[in-house]
Structure 1
Amino acid sequence: MIDNDEWLVVIDRQKVFAQSDWSTWACADGTYYAADGPFRRLAAAYGERVAYTRYIAPDEPRDAWVDYFKDWPQFLVAPDDPMYDFTDETAELAEGHPVVSRTTFGKWCPELKEAIGGARKIALCGVATDCCVLLTALAAADDGVRVRLVADACAGSTPENQELALNTMRLFSPLIEVTDSAALLGSD
């Protein structure tokens, strides 16, 4: 069940992670789209208490990011590049909700805390489970926030990496609870 003071945080449901016909960052085997149904049900259930995040490349990479973008130069584009747009179904649901854009994989930051009104309970969904979702979950939990990771509303870079990330987060129970949308929403 959803608590009245819990927010849904939707991580990086963007074209760059969904569209495998052009993006090497896309979730493998169409798994991004397998999470659509659970994501939509969660967004509806949380109503106004939903915040969205977007990954954007830095204007100028610094430190370790310099070497990272040597391997991924095609993603070093302006924040308003269409590759960093939400997918169509996500954009529609995100309208009117807070959106936090970050140049880091982890999205737990002062701007996100403000966007969710300082809530100390969150449910997380989005992509990629083994990157941005994982780093956000760990940072929020480390900050003392109760995190419920909704596994069927997430997608990993590969199905194998999805399972590795979920198992990693299970190590942090009870700070992070790995669950699914049916359990969270009280449905079958």
Structure 2
Amino acid sequence: MIPSDAWLVVIDHQRIFADPDSEWCAPRFAETAAVVARLAAHFDDRVLLTRWLPGGKRNGSWQAYFNKWSFADRPDEDPVFDLVPSAQDLTRRPSLDVTTFGKWGPELEAVVGEYAHLVLVGVATDCCVVSTALAAADAGCTVTVVADGCAGSSDENHAAALQVMGLYDPQVTVVTSGDLLD
């Protein structure tokens, strides 16, 4: 059952993670699109899309990160960072664009509220989803991660991230879309 005050946060449904030719392709990305669309229909105006953007700063560990993943060191306006077509009509709200893996922060809090109930879907389970879930839970949010609405960098990494997030119960719970919609 979806709580009436919950927000669906669709994390990084962008071309760079969906394109099979991208080094960052989440192999099961396409499988999540139908789940995300089905869930979004139940959240009305409480759907928020996020995008990861590289930004212009390369401070601290980000320098080594962009050295390793130089293909992603592009201007924020590069089309690889666009939302995939299936995500573009899920909400009228503008996307929340940030330069960090975790999406929880002042910008997201300003939209959803301080102690919101977040329902997370998106990519990659083992990067941006887990980073968002743990930071939001640490801030006092209730977090529900929809396993079949997320895709990892591999099936093994997806499963590992879900297992880690499951350790944070009851602040973070991992469910399937079927569980949530029942």
What's the RMSD between the two structures over aligned residues?
1.0
Contact kept? 2:114, 2:141, Cα under 8 Å: no
Matching residue of 1:53:
50
Aligned with residue 108 of structure 1, among 101, 104, 108 = 104
Superimposed CA distance per residue, residues 51-94 of structure 1 (whole angstroms, 9 cap, x where no aligned partner): 11100002131111001111111111111110000001111224
Which amino acid letter does the alignment assign opposite residue 6 of structure 1?
A
Matching residue of 2:154:
158
Aligned with residue 134 of structure 2, among 127, 134, 138 = 138
Gaps of 5+ in 2: none
Number of aligned pairs? 182
Matching residue of 2:6:
6
Contact kept? 2:115, 2:142, Cα under 8 Å: no
Superimposed CA distance per residue, residues 4-60 of structure 1 (whole angstroms, 9 cap, x where no aligned partner): 111111100000001012x101112xx001111111111111010011110000213
CA-CA distance at 1:117 after TM superposition: 3.9
Matching residue of 1:83:
80
Matching residue of 1:129:
125
Distance 2:115 2:139 in 1: 12
Which amino acid letter does the alignment assign opposite residue 26 of structure 2?
C
Matching residue of 2:15:
15
Q: TM-score normalized by structure 2?
A: 0.97
2:24 aligned counterpart, secondary structure: coil
Gaps of 5+ in 1: none
2:107 aligned counterpart, secondary structure: helix
2:42 aligned counterpart, secondary structure: helix
Distance 1:45 1:11 in 2: 17
Distance 1:111 1:181 in 2: 27
Q: TM-score normalized by structure 1?
A: 0.94
CA-CA distance at 1:119 after TM superposition: 5.2
Distance 1:118 1:41 in 2: 26
